[in-house]
Amino acid sequence: MALARMTQGRMARNGIGWQAAALAVAALVLMPVLALAVFAAQGSPGLWAHLVQNVLPSAASQTVILLAGVGVIVASIGTISAWLVAACDFPGRRIFGWALLLPLAVPTYIVAYAYLDLLHPVGPVQSLLRDILGYDSPRDLRLPDIRSMPGCILLLGLVLYPYVYLPVRALFAMQAGNLMDAARMLGAGPVATFWRVVLPLARPAVAVGTALALMESLNDIGAAEFLGVRTMTVSVYSTWINRSDLPGAAQISLVMLAIVTALILLERRGRKRQRYAAGAQRSQPIKRVRLRGWRAALATLACALPVAFGFAAPAAYLAIEAWERYVFAGLSPRIVAEAGNTAMFAAIATLIAVGLGLVVTGAARLRPGRFTQALARVSTLGYAVPGTILAIGLLPVITLADRQIDAVAQAIWGSGPGLLLLGSGAALIYAYTARFLAIATGGIESGLSRVPPSLDHVARTLGRTPAGVFREVHVPISRPALAAAGLLIFVDCVKELPATLLLRPLNFETLATHLYGEAARGTYEDAAIAALIIVAIGILPVIVLARTIRR
């Protein structure tokens, strides 16, 4: 016992260097947010008055309406589908168990891009309906325009409901069936048991998943702009790019940051209550009820519709359009170059994020305490900040660094590199790393939680340094968690659109920005191959999640 305490104290003393490194990582994440506030303060009072009178009311109201509508849809679809899969037995239940995750593979802007073409007045859906009903002109039969607030709410809800489905299904799977049995013994029917017992226990998980889905909705720029909804994210982009008004964009970003903070508080509150809901019972699991007849058909339909409209329809459209484009013009060298750019930047950001995640988690492991825990939490703030806000806050930091590098080079060699960081794409990699560092930290922490402290003590008594313990003990055991975190970061970097649009170098395109440009010009067919590649890459983490659920 004394040897263990002595070894632990020695590890804590030697972990000071790790703590300093973790502090540097937290500063890198926090710096853009602080710079955002400083830069917003540089705007004139008249600018803020103009934003309050002409920009913020419309943008804020549309954002609130969008978030409210998306919240209702994702909570409803996610909870109902999770309950059906976890507690009922009906045709196709095993397939829907993993198929309901598939919309996660399709970014929101790709779904909007696909449905804009599918539901166009001269597109395949309305043309088929007119042929069936015998109409000749698009004026005779025309569906409601998808370019509207209801259309945007529906499409975002169909893509983002898995954020609720995953935690709610996990809670239902862990939830004991004894409370349900007790409720039935007291005379409550299946419907009353669901509303009075099951749903109250699931509310924290629903709150957590809904908050995550709403943060993704707030980060969206492509779908909202394509569908004619002027959210605050779209206003930030247009204020910066179209009006060259960076202080104004920073001020709008601060308002968005307040909304994000409210969503984070909602998520944290739900997570605290979730511990009670999940830990209150640990006996028998839920017994699945066999559905028959119209009830089984209704359950199958309720699970099939989100998969069909959230994944199958846009994915099938992209596959057909990509094949027709490939047959007509082959694989463009431009697409190949853009795929290479996407993979290169995503891979670099993934390696850096995983490395920094190792630093943060290593500090928390080797020198535990409130300070290192606080540093770990600060390092995860980037994931909660939308890419647009992160880019706005990052720009003055990178610009200042570029000026300092150029000044030093001018003093030494007589000439400077100019905008070295912005021009080389380092700013974009910085944004990717800061935004998705939380994934690396969370994944590595889950892996390290399986390593008992006794292994650390044994390694230290055998002469290993803290770095050696982390390298030779922690990392090998946590290798599966590292691989899973790296995969998720890589896929998220590939799909990230707002930060890429704002921080990419000149004449530099990725698959996401190529798709955005073609959709903005209305040439949807030219972007089908790029969109299909993004969807194919996005399926990889879905496969990992499906395998985890089966286990």
Pairwise pLDDT comparison (312 vs 381), residue with the higher score: 312
pLDDT category of residue 280 using cuts at 50, 70 and 90: very low
In whole angstroms, give the CA distance from residue 228 to residue 149: 8
pLDDT category of residue 284 using cuts at 50, 70 and 90: low
Q: Choose the most confident range, by mean pLDDT, from 3-12, 375-384, 429-438.
A: 429-438
AA letter at 462: L
Most distant CA atoms of the chain, gap in Å: 89
Residue whose tokens read 């206003």: 235
The per-residue pLDDT for 303 is 92
Residue whose tokens read 């000071």: 16
Q: What is the mean pLDDT of residues 525-541?
A: 84
Q: Is the pLDDT assigned to residue 434 strictly greater than 90?
A: no
Phi first, then psi: give them for residue 495, nearest 5 degrees. -85, -20
Predicted TM-score (pTM) of the model is: 0.81
Q: What is the mean pLDDT of residues 427-446?
A: 83
As to burial, measured by CB atoms within 10 angstroms (0-12 exposed, 13-18 middle, 19+ buried), residue 346 is buried
Residue whose C-alpha is closest to residue 337's, from 495, 525, 529: 529
**Average pLDDT score, the chain:** 79
The per-residue pLDDT for 283 is 47
pLDDT category of residue 132 using cuts at 50, 70 and 90: confident
The per-residue pLDDT for 281 is 46
Percent of the chain's residues with pLDDT above 90:
11
The per-residue pLDDT for 160 is 92
Q: Choose the most confident range, by mean pLDDT, from 39-53, 110-124, 395-409, 474-488.
A: 110-124
Q: Is the pLDDT assigned to residue 86 strictly greater than 60?
A: yes
Q: Is the pLDDT assigned to residue 276 strictly greater than 60?
A: no
Tokens representing 379 are 């390092």
pLDDT category of residue 65 using cuts at 50, 70 and 90: very high
DSSP H stretches of helix in 119-245:
124-133, 149-160, 162-174, 178-185, 190-193, 199-219, 222-226, 232-241
Cα Rg of the chain (Å, integer)? 25
AA letter at 536: A
The per-residue pLDDT for 424 is 76
Torsional sign, CA 291, 292, 295, 297:
positive
Pairwise pLDDT comparison (86 vs 189), residue with the higher score: 86
Q: What is the mean pLDDT of residues 420-438?
A: 84
Q: Is the pLDDT assigned to residue 215 strictly greater than 70?
A: yes
Q: What is the mean pLDDT of residues 184-209?
A: 73
3-state secondary structure of 44: coil
Tokens representing 398 are 């990178």
pLDDT category of residue 1 using cuts at 50, 70 and 90: very low
pLDDT category of residue 528 using cuts at 50, 70 and 90: confident
Q: Is the pLDDT assigned to residue 43 strictly greater than 70?
A: no
User: Where in the chain are the domains?
Assistant: 1-42+346-496, 43-306
Of 5-9, 168-172, 220-224, 488-492, minimum mean pLDDT range: 5-9
Q: How far is CA 263 from CA 68, 202, 256, 303, 473, in A?
A: 12, 18, 11, 28, 38
Query: If you ran DSSP here, which 8-state letter would residue 285 be given?
Result: B
Q: What is the mean pLDDT of residues 458-485?
A: 72
In whole angstroms, give the CA distance from residue 127 to residue 141: 9
Superfamily in which the 43-306 domain is placed by CATH: MetI-like (1.10.3720.10)
Pairwise pLDDT comparison (369 vs 342), residue with the higher score: 342
The per-residue pLDDT for 175 is 61
Q: What is the number of helices (H) and of strands (E) in the chain?
A: 30, 2
In whole angstroms, give the CA distance from residue 76 to residue 222: 24
3-state secondary structure of 88: strand
Residue whose C-alpha is closest to residue 528's, from 325, 331, 341: 325
Of 61-70, 274-283, 371-380, minimum mean pLDDT range: 274-283
The per-residue pLDDT for 222 is 82
In whole angstroms, give the CA distance from residue 88 to residue 481: 32
Q: Choose the most confident range, by mean pLDDT, from 254-258, 275-279, 374-378, 433-437.
A: 433-437
The per-residue pLDDT for 150 is 92
The per-residue pLDDT for 306 is 94
pLDDT category of residue 6 using cuts at 50, 70 and 90: very low
Provide the CATH number for the domain formed by 1-42+346-496 in this structure: 1.10.3720
